Amino acid sequence: MNRTYELMFIVRPDMPEEEQDKLISYLENAVTTSGGQVKNVEKMGKRRLAYTVRKFHDGLYILLTFQGSGGLVHELERRLRVNEPVIKFLSVRIDEEQKRLDKIKAIRDSKRKVPPAPATPEPAGEAPAVTA
């Protein structure tokens, strides 16, 4: 089963850059070994958290997009859970939403080529004041 997932996780703000890279490559490794494919890694930088998590007010957000099976998500989440500097994570399946967006886009493009059909005139007839 090949599905696209997005894994967003937050690490503690005082985590050094090289250790972040180490963690990312560790996760990428897990993806590739189980037959998945890493599509994109994005470091979203330091952000203020909306609420305190493990006594932290800030966090470094990292976004990992990959293809793989559901079991792989399970494995990645397990790895994040045992990783001490990771304070929060969220994995979301995105391929179905992407499919929906592509469909909407296709419909919109096809509509643009064809000139819009003349709108049917609304019957603006006044209701006769009939008292029952």
Binding site for another protein (CB under 8 A): 8, 10, 47-53, 57, 59, 63, 88-90, 92, 97, 101, 104-105, 123, 125-128, 130-132
Looking at residue 122, its amino acid is: E
- Of 34 and 101, nearer to another protein (C-beta) is 101
Report DSSP letters for 81-92, one per residue: HH-TTEEEEEEE
Q: From the CB of 10, what's the least distance to another protein, in Å?
A: 7
Structure tokens at 124: 């603006």
Q: From the CB of 128, what's the least distance to another protein, in Å?
A: 6
Rounded Cα distance between 96 and 48, Å, is: 30
CA triple 19-75-45, angle to 5 deg: 35
- Of 24 and 94, nearer to another protein (C-beta) is 94
- Of 3 and 88, nearer to another protein (C-beta) is 88
